[in-house]
Chains A and B, each alone.
Chain A
Amino acid sequence: MSKVENNKAWWLVLPVFLLVAFSAIIPLMTVVNYSVQDIFDADHAVFVGVEWYREVLLNERLQESLVRQFIFSFTVLAIEIPLGIAVALMMPTKGPMASVSLIVVAIPLLIPGNVVGTIWKIFGRADVGLLGWGLNQLGIDYNYAANPLDAWVTVVIMDVWHWTPLVALLCYSGLRAIPDAFYQAAAIDRASKWAVFRYIQLPRLKSVLVIGILLRFMDSFMIYSEPFVLTGGGPGSSTTFLSQTLTKMAIGQFDLGPAAAFSLIYFLIVLLVSWLFFTTISEMDKDK
């Protein structure tokens, strides 16, 4: 549809343009600038071309961190998506319990990242934390500060606890949109619960799930405060994910050049994976 032109609208958008330009595009350009320079101090910088990019991509620590990050993101997605769907299926759609369950499910989402980290940090301690103490009582030797596996499991469970509600809420709204008649027809067709899920609910959740997966991937790929507060990246570097590595580099070591180069690479990875995922899903949707 070619809409009737109303040029005044552009004026209303102008302030937003300026704001975005100021707060996002200009800093991004600065980063690009830094990434191709060797910065000694405020006044001395040398153009080094793609030197930093090469160094960064060959850096072992960064490569390990990248691998760790991918494993983390995929693990977390693999758990949160099905679990979120399951939770959404269990939430009542009518009556007073509907609102109550909505609120209860949403609570973890409201808690800021570092608070979440702190909660689980204490929760997992063997001396004062219910989880830590409980597990040790059961005979399990649980210590997230010393044992890398325990640290991983704790970080993953913490993220699941924090973010599954997002997937659940998205799926819940998707399920609410399904008209009753579909369930009635399925009942008359004698469909099993599994068939109802597979042929009615899942297809209709597709668009909502795409959003959920994209959001969760991007967020988890950039995760910082929760694991940082919980384990500080340890033990050793077993839970040091990409953003932490980058921060250490940029702020800890004040190596702005490589840090800038790496930020851009980081940004591009997220963009690439998201784009790949999105196009794949859109292609699947089109009819053969």
Chain B
Amino acid sequence: MAEIQLKSLAHSYEKSPSGAHDYALREMNHIWDQGGAYALLGPSGCGKSTLLNIISGLLTPSEGEVLFDGVVVNHLPPQKRNIAQVFQFPVIYDSMTVFDNLAFPLRNMKIAEAKVTTKVHEIAEILELHPVLHKKAKNLSADEKQKVSMGRGLVRDDVSAILFDEPLTVIDPQLKWKLRRKLKQIHEQFSITMIYVTHDQLEASTFAEKIAVMYGGQIVQFGTPRELFENPNHTFVGYFIGSPGMNLIEVETTATGVRFDGIDIELSDARNEMLGNIPSTNIKVGIRPEFVHVWNKPTDGAYECDVQHVEDLGTYKILTLKLGEKIIKARLDEDHAVPQQKAYISFPEQWLKIYVDEYLIGEDLV
């Protein structure tokens, strides 16, 4: 088992980096507890693959340290770190059968053939690969190949962490479900540390116990899917998590709350006091489409807005509304009646977040 620690870790692909923009990973300190299922979530170019490769040993960080169970492993290659990695596209040894593919790591470690057979069968059982065990690996479908790739990581007893680099990219959406469930079951069964890199927030949320959201080379928030959803502490997290993402509106403060486009939103006294003491002018309020209350008729405390577009997504609908000059999206259940031209919306204060300079503040005041 491995507790993985990152100490003052940073990485630049440049030989002599001159500023923050030269860094693919900006200085971070982080601990991944052993046996956890984690996701590294972020848009392309945020540094998540770089971080994964540093953890696995395929890349040596230019600054800082990577520690496995307290031991610095910066210069240890992957084979010495007891990790396994599953790549974006299935990596299998074409000329071998599935059985030989799974047996390969064990044979390389010179393990007795009898033990190899037992272990391979065990893993094949879990991954439901028995039907194709003696077929040539190159003739399998994409998801079967990916399972073989995963299997090679699982056969080894000494694996303390498995790293996944967007492993479901080539898999059909219908089958992604099955593989995700498989991964979760494997995690529950083996309790191995698993780190999963993806740009798909649904994938990350359903797999991980805790998600590290990355943006611009930094871990912007590390929390459970629920925490990230209900309390995003950076506007980027608000935007990136949730489909659609959080509504973010630039506002200016008033005596009673905030205002934009002539529309006033009242806030609690405690919050107004806090806002009064802030010098910055970069203030935004955010509310998730799921928490916007929508009515068909004029209601006390609700703002009137124009319905621009209704997207019917089967289990729910997305309303695109215009309030003042701003676009607000609201999410309605399938059963909810859909307003036609005008809608009336309100923002329950407990879900209305305030962001100053992109960071969440005043949570304790609600």
Contact = CB atoms under 8 A, between A and B. Distances in A.
A2 interface: no
A283 B56 CA distance: 40
B93 A199 contact: yes
B154 to A, nearest CB: 12
Contact of B58 (A184, A189, A200, A203): A184
A185 B108 contact: no
Contacts of A287: 136, 139
Main secondary structure of the interface of A (DSSP, over half): helix
A192 interface: yes
Contacts of B79: 187-190
A187 B87 contact: no
A128 interface: no
A210 to B, nearest CB: 15
Contacts of B83: 188
Interface residues of A, number: 16
A277 interface: no
B64 interface: no
A184 B95 contact: no
Nearest to B155: A189
Interface string A185-222: 10111111001000110011000000000000000000
B268 to A, nearest CB: 53
Nearest to B81: A188
A161 interface: no
Q: How large is the interface on B (under 10, 10 to 19, 20 to 34, 35 or more residues)?
A: 20 to 34
A199 B89 contact: no
B109 interface: yes
B94 A184 contact: no
A288 to B, nearest CB: 8
B78 interface: yes
Given A185-B91, A187-B77, A203-B94, A192 B108 contact: yes
B78 A188 contact: yes
Given A184-B58, A184-B87, A287-B136, A190 B95 contact: no
A287 B96 CA distance: 12
A181 interface: yes
Name the residue in B94, B139, B149 with the highest tally of chain A Cβ atoms < 10 Å from its Cβ: B94
A182 interface: yes
Interface of A: 181-182, 184-185, 187-192, 195, 199-200, 203-204, 287
11 contacts: A184-B78, A184-B85, A184-B87, A187-B58, A187-B78, A188-B85, A189-B104, A189-B105, A190-B109, A195-B108, A199-B96
